[in-house]
A = this chain, B = another copy of it.
Amino acid sequence: MTAFSTGTVPAAGSMATGSHEAPASVPAATRTMSLAGALNDGLRRSLARDDKVLLLGEDIGKLGGVFRITDKLQEEFGPRRVIDAPLAEAGIIGTAVGLAIRGYRPVCEIQFDGFIYPGFDQIVAQVAKLHYRTRGAVTMPITIRVPFGGGIGAVEHHSESPEAYFAHTAGLRVVSCSNPQDAHTMIQQAIASDDPVLFFEPKRRYWQKGEVNTELGADALPIGEARVLQPGSDVTLVAYGPLVRTALDVAAAAADDGVAIEVIDLRSLAPVDFTTVESSVRKTGRLVITHEAAQSGGMGAEIAASITERCFDWLEAAPARVTGFDTPYPPAALEEAFLPDLDRILDAVDRVLGRRNSLTGWEARA
């Protein structure tokens, strides 16, 4: 990993049990930012820190990207650092591979989740495997940014959650940020990583605001670690990306009901920080996992399976998954039905608690 430290900052530990909002005592370098703005600033710092960092994507130049994540970066760093690419995702990723071989650290923007598939071969057969193929001679410090997930009322292919494909692909790292602070630090950590990183941005949270310590350098929580956002002793609730905020809402609602939920923001999907999840589940004995992606073969399956392996004797109930259905992402009018929400997650909480009225009854009937 290339050096990445610009100052001393509060220890990551102080974040570990705080909420995703600002910690109580706001350090000097802290500013209020949207998640989108935090990414923009993180990219700017990465470009400024290392000449080898390049941005490559569709409409990222003058337009600043359709979500404005690269707003003004071409103006500031010029068209050779922030490059509008022809409209072809395999071309973007494959060109980035060549740039990486030449020593660059390309950051590719995929405009929407559903447009990553034309680049799939270059990602899984090249980006993921080149370090292994060359027995370590070639590194692939490529970051692939993907605005992902639904809830924005978009047309087809604009609301997908393809993270499980990449988490199943050896050689890749997969992360997702859920709040402005993590967006700011994690994008810089991803770019500084010598491994390829799929960086999933929760597009429906782009405009969520929060306090950001912009100088959180080496002291930031490492990119591969999960964060306990809220402690609790009754149920462990694992979420990432867009559903972290929902998970916190669930915890608040459950608290009113006397149920103490421990909320974990997974942050890294490959590798999963099972140590953190395991110690939580050994405490609570109950696990609920939520994501927007389809249930079959989603991240929830891996987490449920691994935690069952690690915590079998501690589990009071089968881990429950609250996910998108095994359907294509639906049209906007149906996304409310499709997306995990407060009620569906609370229902699963009831289920792992063995409460009446939960779907446990349905399961038994099925």
The chain A residues found within 8 Å of chain B, CB to CB, are 90, 114, 117-118, 120-121, 124-125, 128-129, 132-133, 156-157, 164-165, 167-171, 270-272, 293-294, 296-302, 304-306, 308-310, 312, 315, 317-321, 325-328, 363
Please, which residue of chain B has its CB at the minimum distance from the CB of A162? B124
Q: A118-B121, A132-B328, A157-B125 known; A308 and B297 CB under 8 Å?
A: no
Known: A301-B301, A305-B319, A309-B321. 12 other contacts (CB 8 A): A120-B120, A132-B327, A164-B297, A165-B165, A168-B168, A168-B296, A168-B298, A171-B328, A272-B296, A297-B302, A304-B308, A305-B308
Residue on B nearest A167 in the bound complex, by CB: B297
Q: Choose among A312, A319, A321 the residue with the greatest number of B CB atoms under 10 Å from its CB.
A: A312
Question: Copy number in this complex?
Answer: 2
Q: Which of B168, B319, B320 contacts A297 (CB 8 A)?
A: B168
With the chains together, A118 CA to B119 CA distance in Å? 8
**Bound CA span A306–B133, Å:** 35
Assuming A301-B305, A312-B317, is B117 touching A121 (CB within 8 A)? yes
14 pairs, CB–CB < 8 Å, chain A vs chain B: A90-B118, A117-B120, A117-B121, A164-B168, A164-B297, A168-B296, A168-B298, A170-B326, A171-B327, A271-B296, A297-B299, A304-B304, A310-B363, A312-B318
- In the complex, are the beta carbons of B133 and A328 less than 8 A apart? yes
